[in-house]
Structure 1
């Protein structure tokens, strides 16, 4: 018998329409209500994301459907951020496969 998760649950899809780190930050925060609307860079975004995961009963599914719109450097940084968060919060962050 499956146990129903009691907490916040979000699914974030990153697609080719996300063409900058600012658009990525907005997609994540707008979807998962992480509490901030603008950042000065990756460090502030990572701090916010880490804090939200640490202090919340939350599960976030992230579907990296198409990262081709992001500049290479931001794409690499995004993947690194996700790897770090998945390692630290394996029950709260999950990467899902695209259905498309």
Structure 2
């Protein structure tokens, strides 16, 4: 029997319910190693990112980046290429 990554992800509790056809197709192309990695991350991610997950699972909304609370302009927070010089030709 051929390896079905979608079935393995369903059995691991990562996929459930109806999902868009495009997503289903993307998961169908995963190798066994990639699938095993996703399954192993399922239990690790909550331990590594508890604050982010707690906020996202509670339905919370981020109103503005934390750096904006320290006086940085929100519009400038995405300009890392400009200040690092990596965006110069």
| TM-score category (smaller protein) | under 0.3
TM-score computed with the length of structure 1 as normaliser:
0.26
Structure possessing the higher relative contact order (Cα contacts under 8 Å, 6 or more residues apart): 1
- Of Structure 1 and Structure 2, which has the larger fraction of its residues in helix? 2
- Of Structure 1 and Structure 2, which has the larger fraction of its residues in strand? 1
The structure number with the bigger radius of gyration is: 2
